Amino acid sequence: MKVYYDRDNATFDVRSKTVKDMLKEINVFRNAVIVVVNNEVVTEEYEFQDNDTVKILSVVSGG
């Protein structure tokens, strides 16, 4: 499955089945992002479904 991470403006291929495992897989702090699936914010327990559109949004803004 492909996921987009806005802070790196990059798309990753991941194999994880849940949000929690995905963040571990791509080495992103869970407190530093929110995860949006099909335009809905989800928790780390969310289990991915086929055809999900997944975006990881950094919580860092400004400087």
Task: State how far the Cα of 52 lies from the Cα of 38, in Å rounded to an integer.
Answer: 6
Q: Which is nearer to another protein, 1 or 30 (CB)?
A: 30
Give, as ranges, the residues between 18 and 47 that touch another protein (CB under 8 A): 29-34, 36, 40-45
Nearer to another protein, 4 or 14 (CB): 4
Bridge partners for 2 per DSSP: 13
Q: Does 7 bind another protein (CB under 8 A)?
A: yes
Q: How many residues does the chain have?
A: 63
Residue from 27, 49, 51, 61 binding another protein (CB under 8 A): 61
| Helix or strand (DSSP H, E) at 23 | helix 19-25
